[in-house]
Structure 1
C-alpha cells in the first residue's frame, strides 16, 4: 500500500525561486562567478536558523544551460532582510554581479521569483517518500489523512475554520 504524507506547516510562508542561465558559454568569466556565488549564500543560510530560511534544493534546467534553486522561507520579509544585509554573502555577490555584467553584458541571465503564500494557500502530497521532500523536508511531514483525502480537503484544512 502506498504511504501518503503531506507537509506539517500550517501558517504563512514564502517560496523563492532563483536561477541563472548561461547565454554565452564561451564567456565563463561572465557566468561562472554567478553560479559560484550561490553555494556560499546557501551555506550561510543553512547555518543560521534565525534567518527565516527553511530549506532549498537546486535543479538543473531541461536545456542544461541553467539552474533553479527552490527555497522555502518563513516570510517574504525574511528574504528581503537577508538580501539587503551588508554583513551577509548576498549583497556583495549582487553588487559584484552588476559590476561584472557591465564588462560582459548578456553572458548570463539571473532571475528570481518570490511568492508570499498565506496560511491555507498551500497543500502537498508525497507518495512513498522514504525521506521528506520539498515543503515536507522544510517543515516536517505527517500522514496525509490528517489533512484530508483530496488536495481540495488538504488545502482547506490549512486555512483554518471556514467562515
Structure 2
C-alpha cells in the first residue's frame, strides 16, 4: 500500500458491477506454523500472475494480516473471470498442494467469500489510496457526493 496520505475526504468512482473476492488462511494449531506459512506462500505466484495479466479480469488486492489469519481482499471485473481463473493451472496446483500438505488435519483453515456488487459506496478520510479507490478511481468528495446516500445513489 502506498504511504502517501491524501488529506481530506475521498471516495472511489467505480464501474457498473464488479466482484469482491475475499480469500484467506487461518492458523488453527500453533504447531502448524510452517504449514500455515506454506499456504500463504502459495498465494504469491497467483498474485504475480494476476498483476502481470490484466486481461484475466483481476483489478487489485489488499492483504490484511491478523494474529492467526492472512486475508486478501481482491477486486475483479466479473464473476466469470474469477471463476475461469480458479480453474487455471497455478490456482489448481496451489489447491492440490494445500490438500496434499494439510488435507483434513484441521491445522490450517482456508476460506473464501465472493460478492457480486451492483452498487457501492466508499469513504476515505486522510488515507492513502486504498480498497475500491485503488482498484478503480480515487476522487475527492464534492457537494454532490458528501453523504453516504448521495454516493450510493449516484448514476
Superposed, 1:57-76 pairs within 5 Å as 57-61=62-66, 64-76=67-79
Once the two structures are superposed, residues 107-145 of structure 1 have per-residue CA deviations (whole angstroms, 9 ceiling, x without a partner) of 100000000101xx201111133x311100111211222
What count of residue pairs does the alignment treat as equivalent? 149
Structure with the higher strand share, 1 or 2: 2
Q: 2:135 aligns with which of 133, 138, 152?
A: 138
- Does 2:76 align with 1:78? no
CA distance in 1, matches of 2:62, 2:96: 24
Structure 2 unaligned regions, length at least 5? 1-6
Tell me the TM-score normalised to structure 1 length: 0.84
Once the two structures are superposed, residues 19-42 of structure 1 have per-residue CA deviations (whole angstroms, 9 ceiling, x without a partner) of 001112213453332111011111
Once the two structures are superposed, residues 43-80 of structure 1 have per-residue CA deviations (whole angstroms, 9 ceiling, x without a partner) of 1111111111111111112xx11111111111111111
Show structure 1 runs of 4+ deviating over 6 A.
Answer: none
**CA-based RMSD:** 1.7
Query: CA contact under 8 A between 2:32 and 2:108: conserved in structure 1?
Result: no
Structure 1 unaligned regions, length at least 5? none
2:40 matched residue in structure 1: 35
CA distance in 1, matches of 2:35, 2:126: 42
